[in-house]
Amino acid sequence: MSTNEQELKSLMTAGLDGDAAAYRALLERLSAHLRNYYRGRLARAGRGAFEAEDLLQEVLLAIHTRRHTYDRAELFTPWVHAIARYKLIDYLRRTNASHGDVPIDDAGELAAHADHDGVESSIDLGRMMAQLPVKMQRAIQYVKLDGLSVAEAARRSGMSEAAVKVNIHRGLKALSAAIRPGVAS
Amino acid sequence: MKTDDLVAMLSANVEVVDRRQMLRTLAGAIAVGAVVVLGAALIVLGGRTDIRSGEAPAFLAAKLIFAAAVTVPAFFYLIRLARPGEHRRGWMALLALPFVGIVGLASVSLVQAPAPHWQAMFMGDEWLECLLSIPIIAIVPFALVVWAVRQAAPTHLRRAGALAGLVAGGLSAAGYALHCTADSLPFVAIWYGGTILLCTLAGAVLGPRLLRW
């Protein structure tokens, strides 16, 4: 656990300083860890494991858009755990009514489906992106999906570099909010 | 959407994160809130004009010190509560200290005064104005602080909401002190302390709804 803490924390701080490879490694490790955590917790709450991937993706977006709230003077794993737990409780409350009466055979079918396709969520990124203002769509498309640099994206879209950054930031926050249906944000 | 794709997207061209971003947002909200409070107290209500006479400066100072003793620790605790995680509760005692202090001082001044004066010491001439003004003036700073905390990631929403209310109430009380001419410690204890607690309670009630993310 403590070596885990040290490794994850150094990946996180490197990511905060702009090291994309370290940040990617961090998110990959957190994904594996949190997937197990959510599958276990959701099963215990009487929910299907297929919901775990939706929740995992919501949490990854939340971790990303709120990573500035991590205080480097503190341990990293408690920070992640607090977010993971907060999002689990929020998710269970939010979906209580709509999932409570899913017939058991339906749930079984979805769970079986999830077994061979467990790393894919029911969230449709393309459809969520389409809800965003065009500037945000473009900024995210160029920089986060096509992998262009901010400078290139600015040239191609006719925005300033600062505007590209702001639109990415706001767009990801909007996606993070949109991923929680039924909650005004 | 595949989780691997999401990870790739989030980690593509990551920006450097400003270490002071959270503190700046919260401090900025407080600063704007303070300006609004100052405007409400000095322009809408009007500053006290008797400030050079008798005990007025001493009482103004006492009210401001009380408000600052409430607001400053609450602000630092709020910064902690705006971050995800578990927090030691020892801080709660520190937040209660100024209230205990003002009630203690009020008791001392009551004991020293003859009983027939007590009524006037408690109620002053403007208890109703105080009761209404502090919560109303607190609305704008409360909204600003809630906005700032929403940019962070609180995981204990009721406590964070209460602290936001406490900070806003404290700021509002400091502003109201510039207008208020009721110079007695029991008055400050009840009407300042009470209204600040009211703001805290309102924050605790609204927190879970306003701060969800």
Residue B12 maps to a domain: no
Residue B67 maps to a domain: yes
CATH code: domain of residue A160: 1.10.10.10
CATH code: domain of residue A12: 1.10.1740.10
Residue B6 maps to a domain: no
How many domains is chain B built from?
A: 1
A18 and A95 assigned to the same domain? yes
pLDDT given at position B120: 86
Chain segment A151-174, per-residue pLDDT in tens: 999 999 899 999 999 999 999 999
Q: Residue B13: list chain A partners with CB under 8 A.
A: 20, 143-144, 147-150
A113 and A142 assigned to the same domain? no
Residue A88, H or E segment: helix A77-94
How many domains is chain A built from?
A: 2
Whether the predicted pLDDT of B205 surpasses 90: yes
Q: Residue A148: list chain B partners with CB under 8 A.
A: 13
| A69: nearest CB among B7, B11, B153 | B153
**Domain finish residue from A81, A96, A122:** A122
Site of tokens 């490197």: A14
A153 and A140 assigned to the same domain? yes
- Nearest Cα to A80, choosing from A38, A136, A134? A38
A42 and A106 assigned to the same domain? yes
Length of chain A: 185
**Cβ–Cβ < 8 Å for B37, B64:** no
Percent of the residues in chain B that have a pLDDT greater than 90, as a whole number: 78
**CA pair distance A134, A169, nearest whole angstrom:** 14
Compute the Cα dihedral for A38, A42, A43, A44 and give only its sign.
positive
Residue B1 maps to a domain: no
Q: Look up the domain containing B73 and give its range.
A: 19-210
The residue of chain A nearest to residue B149, with distances taken between CA atoms, is: A69
**Cβ–Cβ < 8 Å for B176, B130:** yes
pLDDT given at position B162: 97
Angle (nearest 5°) at CA B14 between B18 and B153: 55
**Domain finish residue from A89, A104, A122:** A122
Contact B83 A70 (CB under 8 A): yes
A16 and A33 assigned to the same domain? yes
List the single range of A113-122, B24-33, B73-82 with lowest mean pLDDT: A113-122
Chain segment A33-73, per-residue pLDDT in tens: 999 999 999 988 888 777 899 999 999 999 999 999 999 99
Q: What is the DSSP string of A144-167?
A: IIS---HHHHHHHHT--HHHHHHH
Size of interface A-B (CB pairs under 8 A): 115
Angle (nearest 5°) at CA A144 between B211 and B7: 70
Compute the Cα dihedral for B65, B69, B74, B75 and give only its sign.
positive
The residue of chain A nearest to residue B13, with distances taken between CA atoms, is: A20
Locate the DSSP E strands across B84-196.
none
A93 and A16 assigned to the same domain? yes
A15 and A68 assigned to the same domain? yes
pLDDT given at position B31: 97
B173 close to A (CB below 8 A):
no
Residue B153 maps to a domain: yes
Chain segment B120-178, per-residue pLDDT in tens: 888 888 899 999 999 999 999 999 999 999 999 999 999 999 999 999 999 999 999 99
Residue B44 maps to a domain: yes
Which amino acid is residue B153, in one-letter code? A
Whether the predicted pLDDT of A120 surpasses 60: yes
Q: In Å, how far is A3's CA from the nearest CA of chain B?
A: 20
- Picking from B2, B3, B157 by the largest number of A CB atoms within 10 A of its own CB, the best residue to mutate is B3
Q: Look up the domain containing A75 and give its range.
A: 1-122
- Arithmetic mean of pLDDT, B48-52: 82
Q: Residue A168: list chain B partners with CB under 8 A.
A: 15
Whether the predicted pLDDT of A1 surpasses 60: no
**Domain finish residue from A80, A104, A122:** A122
A17 and A88 assigned to the same domain? yes
pLDDT given at position A67: 96
- Of B119 and B89, which is predicted with more confidence? B119
B6 close to A (CB below 8 A):
yes
DSSP A103: -
A30 and A88 assigned to the same domain? yes
pLDDT given at position A118: 53
Residue B170 maps to a domain: yes
Chain segment A98-119, per-residue pLDDT in tens: 544 444 444 444 444 444 445 7
Tell me which residues of chain B, numbers 50 to 79, contact chain A at a CB-CB cutoff of 8 Å: none
pLDDT averaged over chain B?
Answer: 93
pLDDT given at position B93: 85
A75 and A137 assigned to the same domain? no
Q: CA–CA distance from B189 to each of A96, B73, B146, B192, B196 (Å)?
A: 45, 18, 26, 6, 10
A117 and A33 assigned to the same domain? yes
pLDDT averaged over chain A?
Answer: 85
A113 and A160 assigned to the same domain? no
DSSP B14: P
Residue B79 maps to a domain: yes
**Cβ–Cβ < 8 Å for B207, B160:** yes
Length of chain B: 213
**CA pair distance B149, B140, nearest whole angstrom:** 14
pLDDT given at position B194: 96
DSSP A72: T
pLDDT given at position A126: 86
**So what's the ipTM on this one?**
0.89
Q: Residue A149: list chain B partners with CB under 8 A.
A: 13
